[in-house]
Each structure stands twice: as structure tokens, then as C-alpha cells.
Amino acid sequence: MTTSTPTLATGTQQVDERRGTARRVRKRLNTRVATMISIVIALLWTIPTFGLFISSFRPEDQIKTTGWWTFFSDPQFTLDNYQEVLFGRSSSSGQLASYFINSLAITIPSVLFPLAFAALAAYALAWINFRGRDWVYIAIFAMQIVPLQMALVPLLSFFSNGVSLGGVTLMPAWDLDGAQKFAQVWFAHTCFALPFAVFLLHNFISQLPKDLMEAARVDGATHPKIFRTIVLPLITPALAAFGIFQFLWVWNDLLVALIFAGGGDETAPLTVRLAELAGTRGNEWQRLTAGAFVSIVVPLLVFLSLQRYFVRGLLAGSVKG
């Protein structure tokens, strides 16, 4: 696309040289204004994080007494904050490395499960004809508003007491221990993610060209086959988009982890640990700043690596009727 634009533009210019010049000037002006505005926004959006970033390399007493901008006139650089947060072994410092692994173990399945279940559900709601499907969709959509906080107690009781109806045990208590508690966290995150996931994916799946689906049906393809061979490849961008958001949400979640994973270094994710660091030592900025950056790194990498992929995918998916 980028290569075709200039050729077309030159063609036009040859047709009407004067008009073309005027437009070029105007375009350049517009580009300049656009660039200015985007730079201003980018700066506004980056400065707070940048300040934190600079602070994370400053010694403790400096952070507490002077603004981070004084770093440039009086640079005092230290890696102690990171050293302490990442590898300190006393429990008052970080040991973040161990929590980092917990975060990974929690996040990956918590992204995959809702992604798959929501894609299946969204496909059914968009392309399978059955009675009341619009109402099912609306109901699932509306469930987005149920506050997470109110769901914690019933879900915890589901895990720790099981389900029984009229004295008959339908499901025994889970009784998980140690690393197995991850399963509870995955389950909880999957539940809470589904309404938004179904909403987002349904939006994409229902926009797929009708002809495509009907052609496949005429060819005798079953729903599972259409789902696998036609829909899944086309909605990869949407899957990537939701994947990113769910990843960020789970990675940054505190409440669900606190309840279902507990607070020890066996299962608790980074966020729980960071909250502890912030809580007991309210003004230990040096730990907070470094800790925050350790936790940002992974989501940022995920975003950067998926970004290209899902923009390209979206373009492929847009070839519609």
C-alpha cells in the first residue's frame, strides 16, 4: 500500500500541476500540525512514566528529597534498587524473581482458556441459528458489569466447599495445595474475562462476510470445520487484541490473586508482592520504582511483539463484501 500511494499521487500531479502543488503544500502543513500534536500527546503520556524510570536509578535519599528532573543537573546513578528488588533474599526486599515465575504460570493459561471458550461462544452467537441467541448474547454482554469484588466470596466458596444440592454433592471441594492453587486462579480469571471476550470477539466474528459462511455451508462444511478453517484464521487480529488485553489484565491483577493464590512466594504473582512492598513501607520509593519497572517489562514486550502481527491480520480480515 505504501508503495502504490506515491505512484498514484504523481499521476494526479501530472494531470493538474497547479492543483497538485497546492495540495502538496497543504498536505505538508497538515503533516506538520499532525506531527506537532502527536508529539505533544506522546510527551504528555510519557513524562510521568519517564519520571518514574529516572527515579528508579536514583539513590533513596535523592528520590525522597528532590524531584527526578534534578537528575540531569546532578546525576547520581545506582542499580541498587533493582538489585535489591530482584534478588534480595530477606523478605523485606523483593525476591521478585520467584514471583515473576508465578506471574507467568498464572497468566498464560488465564489468557488461553477464555480466548478459546469465548471464540467458540462468539461464533455460535454470530453464525449458528438457534432460538434466543440474541438474548443469550445480551445477557453475556450485560454480565460485564458484575463487579469482580462481589463475585469473590461465592467463587471461593465454590472452590473450598464444592457444590451440593439438597445434600447431594455435585462437586467436592477442590482442596488444592501449593502450586496447584494456580488452577483456581486460572478458573477465576477465565470466568471474569468471558463477558468482555465474547463481546469483543462477537463484534469481529459477526462482521465476517456472510457470503463466505454461506458458501462454506453449501459446500457441506460443518460448524466445527468452518470455525477451524475459516473463522479462526480470519479473526487472528481480534484474538491477538483480546489476548493482549487479557494478558495485561491478568498480569496486573491484584484482587483475584490475593484471594485465590494467597500471599506466599509459592503462588502469589508480582502484583501481590509489589503491593506488599508499597504497603508496609509506604515511602520506600526506591523499591516501588524499580519494582514497577520490572513488572512493566513483560507486558510491554508482549505488546511490541504482537502489535505488528495484529495490525497486519486486521488488514487481511477486512476484505469484505
Partner 1 sequence: MAVFARPRQAFAIAGVLGLALSATACGTGGDNDNNSSKAGSAECAPYEKYQGHDGKKVTIYSSIRDIEADRLEQSWEQFSGCTGIEIDHEGSGEFEAQLGVRVDGGNAPDIAFIPQPGLLQRFVDSGKLKPAGAETKAMAEQNYPADWLKYSTVNGQFYGAPLGSNVKSFVWYSPETFREKGWTVPTTWDELITLSDKIAATGIKPWCAGIESGDATGWPATDWIEDVLLRTQGPEVYDQWTTHGIPFNDPKVADALDRAGTILKNEKYVNGGFGGVKSIATTSFQEAGVPITTGKCALHRQASFYANQWPEGTKVAEDGDVFAFYFPAIDPAKGKPVLGGGEFVAAFADRPEVQAVQTYLASGEHANSRAKIGDWVSANNKLDLANVANPIDKLSVQILQDKSSVFRFDGSDLMPAAVGAGTFWKGMVDWVNGKDTASVLQGIESSWPK
Partner 2 sequence: MNFDFADESPKLMMLLWGLVAFVAVVGGLLLLLDVVPSWFARRREAQLVAASASGAPPPRRTRPREGLFALFFLLPATLLLLVGLVVPAIRTTLLSFMDGGSQNWVGLANYRWMFADDAIVRVLLNTLVWVLLVPLVATSVGLLYAVMVDRARFEALAKSLIFMPMAISFVGASIIWKFVYAFRGDGQEQIGLLNQIMVSLGGEPRQWLLDSPLNTLLLIVIMVWIQAGFAMVVLSAAIKAIPADIVEAARLDGVSPWQMFWQITLPSIRPALIVVVVTLSIATLKVFDIVRTATNGNYDTSVIANEMYNQAFRYGQNGQGSALAVFLFVLVIPIVIYQIRNLRQQREG
CA atoms within 13 A on the CB side of 99: 32
**Residue 9, amino acid:** A
Helix (H) or strand (E) holding 166: none
Please report, in angstroms and rounded to a whole number, the separation of the first and last CA atoms in the chain: 20
Alpha-carbon span 201 to 137, nearest angstrom? 12
Binding of residue 101 to partner 1 (CB under 8 A): no
Local structure of 168: helix, strand or coil: strand
Give min distance, CB of 227 to partner 1, in A: 18
Q: Which does 296 bind (CB under 5 to 8 A by kind): partner 2, partner 1, none?
A: partner 2
For 168, list phi and psi in degrees, rounded to 5: -95, 125
Identify the residue among 10, 17, 28, 41 touching partner 2 (CB under 8 A): 41
Per CB under 8 A, does 300 bind partner 2?
A: yes
**Where does this chain touch partner 1 (CB under 8 A) — which range of 70-78, 131-139, 158-166, 240-248?**
158-166
Nearest distance in Å: CB 146, partner 2: 5
Applying CB under 8 A, does 217 fall inside the site for partner 1? no
Binding of partner 1 by 224 (CB under 8 A): no
19 binds partner 2 (CB under 8 A): yes
Residues 112-151 that bind partner 2 (CB under 8 A): 112-113, 116-118, 120-121, 123-125, 128-131, 133-134, 136-138, 140-151
Residue of 57, 68, 82, 159 that binds partner 1 (CB under 8 A): 159
14 binds partner 2 (CB under 8 A): no
Of 147-155, 199-207, 223-231, 238-246, the segment contacting partner 1 by CB under 8 A is 147-155
- Name the one range near partner 1 by CB under 8 A: 84-92, 122-130, 220-228, 291-299: 84-92
Residue 92 interacts with partner 2 (CB under 8 A)?
no
Q: How far is CA 298 from CA 270, 303, 311, in A?
A: 11, 9, 20
Q: How many CB atoms lie within 10 A of CB 46?
A: 11
Query: How many residues are present in the chain?
Result: 321
Residue 210, amino acid: K
31 or 180: CB nearest partner 1: 180
Q: Which residues of 86-110 are buried (b: 16+ CB within 10 A; e: fewer)?
A: beeeeeebbbbeebbebbebbbebb
CA angle 171, 177, 179 (to 5 degrees): 115
Our CB check for partner 1 shows the closer of 52 and 176 to be 176
> Does position 154 bind partner 2 by CB under 8 A?
yes
**309 interface partner picked from partner 2, partner 1, none, CB below 5 to 8 A per type:** none
The per-residue b/e assignment along 248-274, b for 16 or more CB within 10 angstroms, e otherwise, is bbbbbbeebbbbbbeeeeebbbbbbbb
Binding site for partner 1 (CB under 8 A): 90-92, 152-157, 159-161, 170-171, 174, 176-180, 183, 186-187, 258-259, 262-264, 275-276, 279-283
